[in-house]
Amino acid sequence: MSHRTLNLCKPLQKLTFFIVGASLWLTAPVQAQAPSDGLKWSSDPGSHCEFVSPSSLTTGPTYWIGACPGNKASGLGMLRRRDGNHPGPAFYGEMKAGLPVIGVIDDEGYRVGLFKNGDIGDHDELDPQVRLDAFRAAAKAAEEVGKHYTKQGNAASSRHYQAVAQQLEEQIE
């Protein structure tokens, strides 16, 4: 009788294996699809924190310095494009659940405003209050990045981002 039990278990094991394998095969493409909002999600190569980069940061390795609750960039911080050891443009500002909210892109000049249509400041006219709010958020974000580097014992980077915060603050005055 135990021999029959074993014979019944083998087909059940095969069926279970088939069902699990088929369900993994069918769900994998759904998980790999981009969100329906049409935005391109990226992740920090080191921390794997996820975010949407403003399109004017261009494509390539982008790093997030800031909080990452739920594996999504959130709060004040910086997105920095890098090509090897060469820093590229940076976004200083506020993120929420991986999406930029408001801030400044620093790329040999400032691009300022709210995140809309995949970029920062991609608007015909910028409301003066939004401009002020964006520079305030960016200055606070750069200060936070400076504090991050202070905690890491990197005095040179801390000073650099404190100077960036000061430059951003001066745009408000």
Per-residue pLDDT tens for 76-93? Answer: 999 999 988 889 999 999
Residues 17 and 67 in one domain: no
Percent of the chain with pLDDT over 90: 65
pLDDT in the model for residue 83: 85
Task: Give the mean model confidence (pLDDT) for residues 166-171.
Answer: 96
Number of domains in the chain: 2
Residues 64 and 17 in one domain: no
Residues 110 and 70 in one domain: yes
pLDDT in the model for residue 37: 66
pLDDT at 33 over 90: no
**Domain hosting residue 9, numbered range:** 1-32
Show the beta-strand stretches assigned E in the chain: 41-43, 50-52, 62-67, 74-83, 86-96, 99-106, 110-116, 119-120
Residues 67 and 133 in one domain: yes
* Nearest CA-CA partner of 89 in 107, 110, 102: 107
Percent of the chain with pLDDT over 70: 76
Residues 65 and 84 in one domain: yes
pLDDT in the model for residue 48: 96
Let me know: does 137 contact 94? Beta carbons within 8 Å. Answer: yes
The pTM for the full model equals 0.77
Task: Give the mean model confidence (pLDDT) for residues 44-72.
Answer: 95
Write the DSSP symbol of residue 173: -
CA dist., res. 28 & res. 2, Å (int): 39
Residues 21 and 71 in one domain: no
Residues 115 and 61 in one domain: yes
121-135 residue pLDDT tens: 866 678 899 999 999
Residues 88 and 161 in one domain: yes
Q: What is the 3-state secondary structure (H, E, C) of 116-131?
A: ECCEECCCCCCCHHHH
CA dist., res. 103 & res. 100, Å (int): 8
Written as one string, the DSSP assignment of 26-48 is HHHHHHHSPPTT-PPEEE-TTT-
